[in-house]
Structure 1
Amino acid sequence: MKSSFRPLKSNALRSYTLSRRVFRHGSTRGLAISGASRGLTGSRLMQRRCIATSDLSYVEGPQEPPLLTCTIPEHFSEIVSQYGDRPAAVFRSPTTADMNPTLTSTKPETTTLTYENLDTQSNILAHSLRSLGVKKGDRVAVSLGNVTEHAVLTYAIFKLGAVLVPLNPTFNAYQLSAALSRLGVEVLVIAAITDLSYKPCRGRSNYDLLSALVSDLTSSKVESSTVPTLKSVVLVDNTPAHPLAGFPLIQDLSALTPYSSLLLSSSSSSSLSRSITPDAPLAPAEIINIQFTSGTTSMPKAAMLNHTNILNNGRLIATRMGLDSSDRIVCPPPLFHCFGSVLGFMATATTGACITFPSPAFDPGASLCAAAELRATGFYGVPTMFAAEFELLANPAFAARLPPGGLSNLRKGIAAGSSIPEPLMREIGEKLGLRDLVICYGMTETSPVSCMTAPTDPDDRRTSTIGRAMPHTTLKIVAPGDRSQIVPRGQCGELAVSGYLLMKGYWNDEARTGEDLIRDQDGRLWMYSGDEARMDRDGFVEITGRIKDLIIRGGENIHPLEVEIALVEHPRVREASVVGVPDTRYGEVVGAFVAVHAGVRTLEDGEVDEGKGEALSKDEVRDWVRRQLSGHLVPKYVFWTDELPKTASGKIQKFKLRDAAKELLGIATK
């Protein structure tokens, strides 16, 4: 069905009405954009209204609250003036007892930063970074876990007007060098030991990685053949938490600047703890963050985000989920990812709430203990994190460690990062009590959240959709293969996003920027998600799968998510992911990678169950799906796995599963 809507000409300029926004605590500092469509000409506005109220899959989000037009440091200053003595962030350090989460251990050490502490320390650090030569616009790479230093560095870099480049700490030497070289980074901040998910106090020493990056670590000067722009490497010493990692004495590595010296060298002068003036005035539209896409494909891209993107996205997330200054949020997702930095840190920092990072890298035991010990009101995670936490809660020895009633205050939360199956949503509510849990959807390129549920949404919409458009955000769903045609409500197509939240582009990559960011004939810029979706008459959006993950079996389209939801409903299945596997007869067939709960034995085809405890066979998996879904959705292949390959933010890397399936079946890969 073709749309009767004719795109508007691009020669009419769009204007905005500016108004002063009174901050929650009474300040009038910082302008806000309101009424994003009020400056449109009458004919253009009428056409927009017509399409927005038609039966087409097009919707414009609310225009309230108005967009902030100040910079992040300006807004943070206002928050500090109101909530200075309140805790901004709590960091929980692992202990060697955490190496076995079922053992009773002493309470781990925690570090609390009030908003004033965070402001003061980031000022001191900003002065020290300037002494290293960091100027406005310079890229500063940070390869750290969820630790105090990461939080302080974030605001120090923003205050200087430099560009924060958060890197996945698990990068190997090649990945690190490639990222630094690609962005022309001059300063790298990295930990001596990279903390690893599920392995507290058993991290990876970064000595070999640093030796590959810097020609001579004992020299007084940083020289790198792979990253010629690199001038300084700042080392965070976290060796006490990793007694077996084997990192050499830091004082013997003269090329590295100890992070501690950056705070100590400046703290002697009280003037340096006061605010810092950047080289040139900051502007809301300036790039201050470059985020690498999360790596569910093999080719991550570097998305450029500005103050307006990040500040407003965090604030609007907080508003829709109902955060306030009394909240205590536990955030296991990583700070180097948009989930931890925007949905987590920026959202709480715009409301005066407190955020807790339970461990440097994800650890289900630490996450649950932190929530119980701090009597948290909110809890964040992606599906794979929640699955691991529920597995641990089912262990009586671990459950006995938690303070009685420690999880009883939980009510708010965010589930994001990938599609959330309805059974998991119900389980989150039952086991953690997150009655106000919301789902956030987005992309790194959209700062990231473009669509979100609300605690007041009907229960069926909160468990089956990603909610509705965020404020100042426009959504449309276009026909496969023809992005000029908006599909009717209820019909599947590709989801596209427009508004303040769009990235500027990919760093030095005009070709790939042009593939994803496209102007329509009206001159409006759209980000095409690559996700297949459908929109109902009330504007709620359901993600039906990744377009590139669609399985076409004998001409029939199969959405992996539908099969995955059926699989995880099996009582013995912990996690499952479905991919297309090449087939000579059908072109593609369904392949399912399945991880079972602890204590469940897995049986191969034809293997007999000898009755020694719980077991699950591949035929049982197929029969389970067959009883719930059509026959063509039944997996032809079932692959047992202990763990699904994931990014550090918890997303399943399907390209690795597709390659693994071909390898297991002896199918040649390109």
Structure 2
Amino acid sequence: ERIARNLHLRKLLTGELYGPLTGKPGIDKPWLLEFPEETIKNFPFIGKTVFRYLYDNNIGHLDDVVIVFEGKEITNREFIESIIDTASALKKMGVKEGDFVSVCLPNTPESACFLYACSILGAVADFIDPIASEEGLKSYLDISNPKYLITMDMAYDKFKNLIKEKGITDVIVTSPVESLIPSDDERIEEDNLAFQARDCEYMESTSANIRTFKKFMKDGRGAYTLEEMEVPYEPLRPVSVVHSGGTTGTPKGVLMSNDNLNSFATQIMNTTLGYKRDNTLLSLMPEFVGYGLSLGLHVARVAGMKTYMIPKYIPEEIDELIAKFKPNVVTGSPAHLELFAESEMLRNEKVDLSGLDSFIVGGSAIHPKVENKGNGLLFENGSSNKVKKGYGFTENNCAVTMCINNEVNELGGCGVPLPFTEVTIYDNKNQRDCGYDEEGEVCVTGPDLMLEYLNNLEENKLALRVHSDGKVWFHSGDLGVINKRGLFKCTGRIKDLIIRYNGQKVYPDDVEKLLSAHVDVKYISLVGTQDKDHFNGEVPIAFVVFNEGATLETSKSSLKDFAEEKLVSYAVPEEYFQIEAMPKTKTGKVDKKVLRPMVTLDEETKTYKMVPVGKKN
């Protein structure tokens, strides 16, 4: 039905058919003219698990190198065998259909295997950020309540209290370079015993079975065949959780199905973004965010691309990595683009970028100066493509719109919606779709849209709403417009979300609730202001009303320490200002429109200062 409708709309837009259009971009879909008719006509329904889609697409290319990790090359054959071995070890450990397996790892071949291994068993891979604080990790585990945890050795200590509290039954501890360290069977047993001996007191105090990754794999490898393990495909079966929001204790778990990930992959492979066999990808985004899991991992694996897998998020290395690997596709953040655009090495050495088809950037807005400078460097060094910006959110895999070619890639714009992703600009007050160039809330539906926020009925009611067409639409909280060509531009945010220069999101409500627990704080409110160190993004600034007897002078040091202990680093306020009372709206809410202009940046000293504005009640 969706294919037939899109083909009919495209023929109305081209003039092949005569008939009325509505004047509403969300219904007329003028962006369909940017895609060949064959792309729309032949869009397949996959009807497979993510593992089976990867397997079937690559079974004829088993000797192709598909992952390069720290210099080690891994073929399709080796990767698929590792997935099956991992599934066997998980099943031997007790993992069954519907179970949640929390995966707390950086980008490694092992972390990638867990997505597909869980898919084989009908389990759900729950990806969480290994650099989160103990409190942050607890908030992730509170959502999925897993019995099984895979974590790296450097994060293991943060989980010790949580393993007991959450009743986790099995813990696997691995190294980020696990795949680079060969071990014989005897050494595996010795290393596991040595690991347990180092922590014997804790091991004896918990009922959880805690062991090394190599011991886990040795115990389970070959215990089951693929045929004995693989569950049949079922529509809407969940396969992964990635987390959206939650800089303190209230993240949301975005539950994705096999169909969500596969539909997104199919859409991307049917664009001009370069996701195809024989091309190479430099994957810079972590898999515990939707962007990294989809564009960085699954789409590339299904397409059969060679991926240069980077375990650490270090934007400063972007120019060296591009010069070294000469990728056809790069997936990065505005922070990567800013450093790329400023690279004297790439300019002075005239590094050949003619093979770079797609420098994809998403996560937050890009400053026009950075965008222009990045485009300039690409063209100077031989590329024929501008920076390919994307707009989207975790709830829809990552990308909703993309700059698929230079023609739809306007400065400050975000391209056009993907062919089978439905986008409308919505007037919430009048409950109607907006017309061309009319600002409203960005709403999305389609095959890529998440199943739900896991175990969060309240947020589901707010975000997932049925419109008059009977479809469930995701309300993004963003404002946007679409013009008559179908080009989309994000114009602002309904929510008070603060987006850092590298795309990391700070949710003021979360931070405010936590910092309000400080003994000297009566009221606190967070706003975003211009980042003094980067063209892109904002930094959080805290306005504080202190309890009687406390002042900024006496309490600032302990409040900063409290924030650094409780929050992830990017959510810690950049500066604190004391005010006598919070400005309020007529309905009694804190009026952040008053607070925002009270922050000013002294360009000379690069410091933030408070400038009182108006009367505060």
C-alpha deviation, 1:50, in angstroms: 7.8
* Contact 1:381 1:416 (8 Å CA) reproduced: yes
Secondary structure of 1:174's partner? helix
Relative distance call for 1:582 and 1:336 in structure 2 (3 A) is closer
Could you state the TM-score of these two structures normalised by the residue count of structure 2?
0.71
Structure 2 residue corresponding to 1:363, chosen from 296, 303, 314: 314
Correspondence 1:372 to 2:323: yes
Relative distance call for 1:308 and 1:550 in structure 2 (3 A) is closer
* Contact 1:375 1:408 (8 Å CA) reproduced: no
* Contact 1:57 1:534 (8 Å CA) reproduced: no
- CA deviation map 1:422-471 (0-9, x unaligned): 32222222335554332222111112322222125245x3x332112212
- CA deviation map 1:503-546 (0-9, x unaligned): 11111222210111111233111111111001101111100111
Relative distance call for 1:294 and 1:582 in structure 2 (3 A) is closer
Listed as ranges, the matches of 1:140-539 within 5 Å are 140-193=101-154, 206-214=155-163, 224=164, 226-228=165-167, 230-238=168-176, 250-252=195-197, 253=199, 255-267=209-221, 269=222, 275-278=226-229, 280-295=231-246, 299-320=250-271, 321-358=273-310, 360-390=311-341, 393-394=343-344, 405=351, 409-432=355-378, 435-436=384-385, 437-459=387-409, 461=410, 463-482=411-430, 484-539=431-486
* Contact 1:373 1:406 (8 Å CA) reproduced: no
Relative distance call for 1:135 and 1:541 in structure 2 (3 A) is same
Relative distance call for 1:119 and 1:420 in structure 2 (3 A) is same
Secondary structure of 1:448's partner? coil
Give the Cα separation in 1 of the matches to 2:609 and 2:234. Answer: 49
C-alpha deviation, 1:188, in angstroms: 0.5
C-alpha deviation, 1:210, in angstroms: 2.9
2:517 corresponds to:
none
Give, as a single letter, the amino acid of the residue that structure 1 aligns with 2:4: G
- Structure 1: which 5+ residue stretches go unaligned? 1-15, 17-32, 41-48, 93-109, 194-205, 215-223, 242-247, 552-565, 584-631, 645-656
C-alpha deviation, 1:575, in angstroms: 4.4
- CA deviation map 1:401-426 (0-9, x unaligned): x9x84655323221111122332222
Relative distance call for 1:390 and 1:56 in structure 2 (3 A) is closer
C-alpha deviation, 1:59, in angstroms: 4.3
C-alpha deviation, 1:140, in angstroms: 0.5
Listed as ranges, the matches of 1:50-199 within 5 Å are 53-55=22-24, 58-60=27-29, 62=32, 63-64=40-41, 65-92=43-70, 110-193=71-154
* Contact 2:136 2:247 (8 Å CA) reproduced: no
C-alpha deviation, 1:148, in angstroms: 1.8
C-alpha deviation, 1:231, in angstroms: 0.8
Give the Cα separation in 2 of the matches to 1:78 and 1:177. Answer: 38
1:35 corresponds to:
4
Relative distance call for 1:458 and 1:448 in structure 2 (3 A) is closer
Give, as a single letter, the amino acid of the residue that structure 1 aligns with 2:393: M
Give the Cα separation in 2 of the matches to 1:134 and 1:154. Answer: 13
Bigger drift between 170-179 and 284-293 goes to 170-179
Secondary structure of 2:129's partner? coil
Give the Cα separation in 2 of the matches to 1:55 and 1:181. Answer: 42
Bigger drift between 232-241 and 250-259 goes to 232-241
C-alpha deviation, 1:477, in angstroms: 0.8
Relative distance call for 1:665 and 1:114 in structure 2 (3 A) is farther
Give the Cα separation in 2 of the matches to 1:278 and 1:424. Answer: 49
Relative distance call for 1:541 and 1:399 in structure 2 (3 A) is closer
Secondary structure of 1:521's partner? coil
Give the Cα separation in 1 of the matches to 2:19 and 2:123. Answer: 43
C-alpha deviation, 1:53, in angstroms: 4.2
Give, as a single letter, the amino acid of the residue that structure 1 aligns with 2:49: T
Give, as a single letter, the amino acid of the residue that structure 2 aligns with 1:292: H
* Contact 2:463 2:474 (8 Å CA) reproduced: yes
Give the Cα separation in 1 of the matches to 2:235 and 2:54. Answer: 13
* Contact 2:366 2:536 (8 Å CA) reproduced: no
Give the Cα separation in 2 of the matches to 1:307 and 1:313. Answer: 10
Give, as a single letter, the amino acid of the residue that structure 1 aligns with 2:89: S
* Contact 1:136 1:279 (8 Å CA) reproduced: no
Secondary structure of 1:68's partner? coil
Report how many aligned residue pairs link the two structures. Answer: 491
* Contact 1:164 1:290 (8 Å CA) reproduced: yes
- CA deviation map 1:480-508 (0-9, x unaligned): 533x1222211211111121122111112
Give the Cα separation in 1 of the matches to 2:450 and 2:460. Answer: 10
Give the Cα separation in 2 of the matches to 1:507 and 1:550. Answer: 21
Relative distance call for 1:636 and 1:51 in structure 2 (3 A) is farther
C-alpha deviation, 1:240, in angstroms: 9.7
Secondary structure of 1:54's partner? coil
Give, as a single letter, the amino acid of the residue that structure 1 aligns with 2:388: V
Secondary structure of 1:180's partner? helix
* Contact 1:51 1:58 (8 Å CA) reproduced: no
* Contact 2:397 2:448 (8 Å CA) reproduced: yes
C-alpha deviation, 1:576, in angstroms: 5.0
C-alpha deviation, 1:277, in angstroms: 3.8
Q: Kindly report the root-mean-square deviation, in angstroms, between the aligned alpha carbons of the 2 structures.
A: 4.0
Secondary structure of 2:303's partner? coil
Relative distance call for 1:87 and 1:638 in structure 2 (3 A) is farther
- CA deviation map 1:222-280 (0-9, x unaligned): xx1x202x110100034899xxxxxx96242454221112333345x4x85x5354474
Relative distance call for 1:529 and 1:573 in structure 2 (3 A) is closer
Structure with greater helix share of residues? 2
Listed as ranges, the matches of 1:562-577 within 5 Å are 574-575=535-536, 577=538
Relative distance call for 1:178 and 1:575 in structure 2 (3 A) is closer
Correspondence 1:637 to 2:599: yes
- Structure 2: which 5+ residue stretches go unaligned? 10-17, 33-39, 180-192, 204-208, 499-528, 545-593
- CA deviation map 1:157-205 (0-9, x unaligned): 1111110100011122222223223312011100012xxxxxxxxxxxx
Relative distance call for 1:288 and 1:371 in structure 2 (3 A) is same
Give, as a single letter, the amino acid of the residue that structure 2 aligns with 1:54: G
- CA deviation map 1:561-595 (0-9, x unaligned): xxxxx989x9x965452789989xxxxxxxxxxxx
C-alpha deviation, 1:381, in angstroms: 1.0
Relative distance call for 1:132 and 1:52 in structure 2 (3 A) is farther
Relative distance call for 1:239 and 1:289 in structure 2 (3 A) is closer
Give the Cα separation in 2 of the matches to 1:504 and 1:407. Answer: 39
Secondary structure of 2:270's partner? helix
Give the Cα separation in 2 of the matches to 1:50 and 1:520. Answer: 24
* Contact 2:370 2:535 (8 Å CA) reproduced: no
